[in-house]
Amino acid sequence: MLEQFKKHLDKFVKISDDEFVDITQYFELQRLKKKENVLTEGQICKANYFVLDGILRKFFINEKGGQQTTEFAIENWWMTETFSYINQTATAFYIQAVHPTEVLVIRKQAYDELLEKHPALEKYFRMVYQKAYAAAQMRIKFLYEYSREELYLHFLKDQPAFLQRVPQYLVASYLGFTPEYLSEIRKKNLS
């Protein structure tokens, strides 16, 4: 599993094998059960999670009591609740495993020490955050630009393998509509 993380890092920055061994000391491996929360509303986010296997999702509970998914993280993606993590304030979000999931966890203090000792990882995390920010910008654009049906069809075209791995009610939550509406769209486009 750590080899997978090394390959991922190498896409962004070059680090020696010895340096990588030291870097891994800042992380802990955690195995999560399906629907296990690593963060709940009201907590302070104290960790950043790198997905080795499985899927994490971030969501909040809306005013009607429904879960609104805002983000997914699959293999080789990071997830945290950035505002809470950086400011060490209470969050309004949850982070939950969609399936049994393995993650590398880095706690806030370890993260700060890691960046101090390994400056190359400052560049790595900057690049990761830039990619995440760009993806978030595109998602917002799509939410404004596309009808709900077009949004689903775009997602189906761009992420077909992902859609096979995630329960449809979570896809609906992420796209901002009900599972029933998603079912109607799917039926309409299958005929």
Task: Output the DSSP codes for 136-173.
Answer: HHHHHHHHHHS-HHHHHHHHHHH-HHHHHHS-HHHHHH
pLDDT in tens, 141-162: 988 898 888 888 888 888 888 8
Q: How far is CA 157 from the centre of its chain?
A: 20
pLDDT in tens, 21-45: 999 999 999 999 999 999 999 999 9
**In this structure, what token pair is assigned to residue 124?**
């790595």
DSSP 44: B
Confidence band, pLDDT 50/70/90 cuts, at residue 102 = very high
| Mean of pLDDT values over 12-28 | 95
Place of tokens 């509970």: 61
User: Could you confirm whether domain 2-117 is CATH 2.40.10.10?
Assistant: no
Confidence band, pLDDT 50/70/90 cuts, at residue 190 = low
**In this structure, what token pair is assigned to residue 114?**
């890691």
- Give the C-alpha separation, 50 to 68, whole Å: 22
User: Considering the entire predicted model, what is its pTM?
Assistant: 0.91
Q: What is the mean pLDDT of the chain?
A: 92
pLDDT exceeds 70 at position 62: yes
In 12-159, where does DSSP find H-type helix? Answer: 17-24, 82-87, 108-117, 120-145, 148-158
Nearest to 75 by CA among 165, 135, 175: 165
99 close to 36: Cβ distance less than 8 angstroms: no
| Mean of pLDDT values over 6-30 | 95
